Each structure stands twice: as structure tokens, then as C-alpha cells.
């Protein structure tokens, strides 16, 4: 029935700014770009950007800090999380959570944000002893 996730769509407020972030700062290969739809190839899964989103400053002010049901994030596995996190910060990427070891989950995890505030997790598997 379902074989794999074929694409993930992120709604963005400024296509050119977001393309610059995902292509130039994160280094994800660009397939193509239009005003309203852009695709990046990330293995079997396409990362798509859909234009026309409302910028964060225009969203309703009453936002709860707790996780909201119906939201999602995307995650990328990296080889060296500490190095990747520092490289991204040096490129001006917004850090949300620095690398943290999550022993029970078997990973080290960090979180960054795209230009619209969309959270992206970065993880590195822990070496099992």
C-alpha cells in the first residue's frame, strides 16, 4: 500500500528567501523553482516549498508555547551534529535548541528554524557501547 513518503510540503511567505535558505545555507540540491512551487531532492523524498504563506509577524498573537496538535516538523540525520550546528549558525541560521544527548532515544538532537520559523530537527545517532 504505502511504500515511502514521496514529498513533504512547507508553506513559505517569501519563495526566494526560503529557496536561498534551503539551497544555500542547508545545501539541499534544488530540482526547480517557480513563484509558487519549488522542489528539492533529498533522497527518495522531495522537499517542496509552496508559496503564498502569511509571514510570521502577521499570524495571530495568541499562540500557545505548548506543542500544537496538527503541526509537524522535518528532521535530517547528519554525520557530526556539533560541527553541522556550528556551521549553520555561522551561516546565520537561527538556532532553536543546541545539541542535546537523548540517551534513551539513541540520538543527539538539535533544532534550527527556517526564515518563517518552521522548525527543523537535526539528529546524529549515538554510538552504542
Residue 6 clears pLDDT 80, i.e. is over it: yes
Residue 11's CB is within 10 A of a number of other CB atoms, namely: 14
**Domain with residues 73-129, CATH architecture:** Roll (3.10)
Q: What is the pLDDT of residue 65?
A: 63
Calpha distance 35→12 (Å, rounded): 11
Cα angle: 106, vertex 108, 109; to 5 degrees: 120
pLDDT tens per residue, range 82-129: 999 999 999 999 999 999 999 999 999 999 999 999 999 999 999 876
Residue 48 clears pLDDT 80, i.e. is over it: yes
Quick one: residue 82, left, alpha or beta (phi over 0 = left, psi -120 to 50 = alpha)? alpha
Q: Which of 18-22, 43-47, 71-75 has the highest mean pLDDT?
A: 18-22
pLDDT tens per residue, range 49-87: 999 999 866 555 455 567 678 888 999 999 999 999 999
Calpha distance 100→103 (Å, rounded): 9
Q: What is the pLDDT of residue 127?
A: 85
Q: What is the pLDDT of residue 124?
A: 96
Residue 18 clears pLDDT 90, i.e. is over it: yes
1-54 CATH:
3.10.180.10
Mean pLDDT of 34-50: 94
Burial of 87 (0-12, 13-18, 19+ CB in 10 A): middle
Q: What is the pLDDT of residue 3?
A: 86
Residues carrying CATH 3.10.180.10, the chain: 1-54, 73-129
Amino acid at each position: 500500500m504505502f511504500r515511502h513518503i514521496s514529498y513533504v510540503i512547507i508553506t513559505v511567505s517569501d519563495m526566494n528567501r526560503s529557496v536561498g535558505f534551503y539551497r544555500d545555507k542547508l545545501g539541499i540540491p534544488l530540482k526547480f523553482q517557480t513563484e509558487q512551487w519549488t522542489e528539492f531532492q533529498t533522497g527518495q523524498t522531495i522537499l517542496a516549498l509552496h508559496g503564498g504563506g502569511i509571514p510570521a509577524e502577521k499570524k495571530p498573537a495568541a499562540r500557545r508555547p505548548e506543542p500544537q496538535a496538527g503541526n509537524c516538523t522535518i528532521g535530517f540525520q547528519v554525520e557530526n551534529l556539533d560541527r553541522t550546528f556550528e556551521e549553520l549558525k555561522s551561516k546565520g541560521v537561527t538556532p532553536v535548541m543546541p545539541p542535546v544527548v537523548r540517551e534513551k532515544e539513541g540520538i543527539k538532537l538539535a533544532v534550527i528554524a527556517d526564515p518563517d520559523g518552521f522548525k527543523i530537527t537535526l539528529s546524529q545517532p549515538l554510538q552504542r557501547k
